[in-house]
């Protein structure tokens, strides 16, 4: 018997993947998913950061095409980037196993939206499994690999912030025998998704899902916890824990698989209940599906699709309490570190009243007072496209004040195509792009990326030189400056650039204060 351990949900996923024989883990950092791959690496798994989630998912798909077992990790918005892979990988299926671990962030602890990954499962036709705690994070990761291997389909393991970042007891079980070594089996009609092949595969996918649904009815990871009252609650994920605590006397059907749903099980459970509730976080995905299947369950008030659920909020739903909820005290928001190199750049942008198309990273904190020096932040890489769009249509005096600002990791993730657009369709007033290069993926906890020259485990890799790539793409005015030691030059360069009609890129390079020590230590080792 393996010893019990205290593990976070993310650590439990990593251990579950290792014990399921996962051959390679890929991903891109994003709160709350980041620690999964870091832990997988730490306990002996083969893990890598890819430039972005789409590439990570493609590498994982290739691993699974070769008969091996792959896991790809990301936060919810990362699946938007990887969605192109997901939808067609659902058609092609896999030879080995492929698990998408996607961490949602209800309540927006550190995200730009509250999207619900379960909708992707439904839209793409990919099974979705939802753990409620660390033990299930371990067990369901293993189950996800088993299902993926059995039905040759990708499987989504939907985590949420609370499950990822709650530490609880895990009893691991015996690891599986090492899976068969990877080898290539040719399957052109199965993996070349031209229309003639894909039409057939779409039918096969739907037949596969019907089989999985049948399996889920009788053997799925769903449990009924009986109660003493005539109230029945259908729930999933950490919400089911809140529900059990809020109303222990109610019967609880806790669904471990939320797509495809076991409708016979659900409708059978609800049949003799006089009061029925569905308790779920984010969108009413279960309510919609159960109602569509003929289940008589009520909609919860709209306000509960926003924010995290808690025992208190579940009690309100169960009581039908629709009075305004007490405001949650927010506490002090995070801010740029004192003397953060990014701060120097934003002081200049603010001084010159620039219109700043921003991006995703620590530097987004510059949008908050006292700096208030960022005007948009939408998704990874959007700074460049949005900045160009603004330049195209704003009156000239305003267009000349538009600057795009992007971090180094975000640039490698989604900035290259933005630069291609900048070169291909330049605005009449030109454009200015500032790459805030602090030599790490700072916001998520200092992960490496292709322009740091180090892999996930901080060992050396070929470093991509951002300014060289940008020059090679056809931009002539590329300047690299240290925002801390060359603040005045940086300001002058920006002023000049804003005056001309040319395309200018300024790489403001200075290591992140928090990462500097570790970067120096890694460099000494090299």
By beta-carbon proximity to other proteins, the closer residue of 338 and 462 is 338
Residue 170 contacts residue 15 (beta carbons within 8 Å): yes
Total of residues contacting other proteins (CB under 8 A): 37
Give the CA radius of gyration of the chain. 25
Query: Is 74 one of the binding residues for other proteins (CB under 8 A)?
Result: no
By the 10 Å C-beta count (0-12 exposed, 13-18 middle, 19+ buried), 35 is classed as: buried
- Which residue of 123, 169, 185, 495 would you call a contact of other proteins, by CB under 8 A? 169
Q: Classify strands 128-129 and 257-259 as parallel, antiparallel or unpaired.
A: antiparallel
- Which residue of 80, 88, 110, 496 would you call a contact of other proteins, by CB under 8 A? 110
Which one of 27-35, 48-56, 192-200, 410-418 is the stretch in contact with other proteins (CB under 8 A)? 27-35
Tokens of 457: 């485990």
- Which residue of 440, 444, 486, 504 would you call a contact of other proteins, by CB under 8 A? 444
Say which residues have a Cβ less than 8 Å from residue 323's Cβ, sequence separation at least 6. Answer: none
Phi, psi at 33, each rounded to 5°: -100, -15
By beta-carbon proximity to other proteins, the closer residue of 176 and 514 is 514
Query: Is 361 one of the binding residues for other proteins (CB under 8 A)?
Result: no
Q: How far is the CB of 35 from other proteins (least distance, A)?
A: 8
Q: Which of residues 447-506 bind other proteins (CB under 8 A)?
A: none
Tokens of 420: 């291609």
Tokens of 349: 């942008």
Phi, psi at 524, each rounded to 5°: -60, -40
Q: How far is the CB of 329 from other proteins (least distance, A)?
A: 4
Q: How far is the CB of 148 from other proteins (least distance, A)?
A: 28
CA distances from 165 to 80, 239, 309, 431 (A): 22, 15, 15, 41
Say which residues have a Cβ less than 8 Å from residue 23's Cβ, sequence separation at least 6. Answer: 46, 63, 68, 69, 70, 96, 179, 182
Cα–Cα distance, 397 to 415 (Å, whole number)? 26
Q: x/- binding map, residues 117-136, to other proteins, per CB under 8 A? A: ----------------x---
Q: How far is the CB of 394 from other proteins (least distance, A)?
A: 33
Query: Is 241 one of the binding residues for other proteins (CB under 8 A)?
Result: yes
- Which residue of 298, 334, 474, 517 would you call a contact of other proteins, by CB under 8 A? 334
Query: Is 168 one of the binding residues for other proteins (CB under 8 A)?
Result: yes
- Which residue of 123, 223, 311, 488 would you call a contact of other proteins, by CB under 8 A? 311
Q: Which residues bind other proteins (CB under 8 A)?
A: 6, 31-32, 35, 109-110, 133, 161-162, 165-169, 238, 241-242, 244-245, 310-312, 329-337, 362, 365, 443-445, 514
């Amino acid at each position: 018997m393996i010893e019990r351990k205290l593990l976070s949900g993310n650590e439990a996923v990593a251990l579950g993947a290792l014990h399921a024989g996962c051959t390679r883990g890929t991903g891109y950092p994003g709160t709350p998913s980041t620690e999964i791959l870091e832990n997988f690496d730490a306990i002996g798994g083969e893990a890598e950061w890819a430039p972005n989630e789409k590439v990570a998912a493609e590498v994982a798909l290739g691993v699974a095409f070769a008969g091996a077992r792959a896991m790809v990790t990301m936060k919810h918005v990362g699946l938007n980037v990887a969605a192109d892979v997901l939808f067609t990988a659902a058609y092609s299926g896999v030879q080995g196993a492929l698990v998408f671990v996607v961490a949602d962030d209800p309540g927006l602890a550190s995200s730009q939206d509250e999207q619900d990954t379960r909708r992707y499962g439904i839209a793409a036709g990919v099974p979705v499994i939802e753990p409620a705690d660390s033990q299930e994070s371990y067990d369901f990761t293993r189950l996800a690999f088993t299902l993926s291997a059995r039905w040759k389909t990708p499987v989504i393991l939907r985590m949420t912030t609370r499950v990822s970042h709650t530490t609880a007891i895990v009893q691991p079980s015996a690891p599986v025998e090492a899976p068969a070594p990877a080898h290539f089996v040719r399957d052109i009609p199965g993996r070349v998704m031209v229309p003639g092949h894909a039409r057939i595969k779409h039918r096969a996918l739907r037949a596969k899902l019907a089989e999985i649904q049948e399996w889920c009815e009788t053997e799925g990871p769903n449990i009924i916890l009986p109660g003493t009252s005539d109230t029945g609650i259908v729930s999933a994920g950490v919400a089911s824990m809140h529900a059990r605590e809020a109303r222990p006397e109610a019967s609880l059907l806790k669904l471990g698989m939320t797509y495809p749903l076991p409708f016979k099980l659900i409708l059978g459970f609800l049949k003799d209940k006089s009061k029925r509730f569905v308790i779920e976080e984010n969108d009413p995905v279960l309510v919609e599906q159960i109602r569509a299947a003929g289940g008589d369950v009520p909609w919860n008030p709209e306000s509960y699709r926003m924010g995290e659920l808690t025992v208190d909020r579940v009690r309100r739903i169960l009581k039908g309490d629709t009075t305004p909820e007490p405001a949650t005290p927010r506490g002090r928001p995070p801010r740029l570190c004192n003397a953060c190199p990014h701060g120097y750049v934003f002081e200049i942008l603010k001084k010159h009243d620039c219109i700043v198309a921003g991006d995703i990273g620590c530097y987004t904190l510059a949008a908050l007072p006292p700096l208030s020096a960022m005007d948009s932040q939408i998704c990874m890489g959007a700074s460049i496209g949005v900045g160009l769009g603004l330049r195209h249509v704003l009156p000239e005096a305003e267009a000349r004040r538009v600057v795009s600002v992007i971090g180094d990791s975000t640039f490698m993730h989604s900035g290259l195509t933005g630069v291609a657009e900048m070169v291909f369709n330049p605005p009449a007033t030109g454009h200015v792009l500032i790459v805030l290069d602090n030599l790490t993926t700072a916001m998520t906890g200092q992960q490496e990326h292709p322009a740091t020259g180090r892999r996930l485990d901080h060992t050396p890799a070929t470093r991509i030189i951002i300014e060289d790539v940008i020059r090679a793409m056809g931009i002539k005015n590329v300047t690299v400056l240290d925002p801390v030691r060359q603040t005045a030059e940086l300001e002058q360069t920006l002023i000049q650039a804003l005056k001309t009609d040319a395309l200018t890129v300024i790489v403001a390079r200075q290591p992140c204060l928090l990462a500097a020590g570790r970067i120096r230590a890694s460099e000494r080792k090299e």
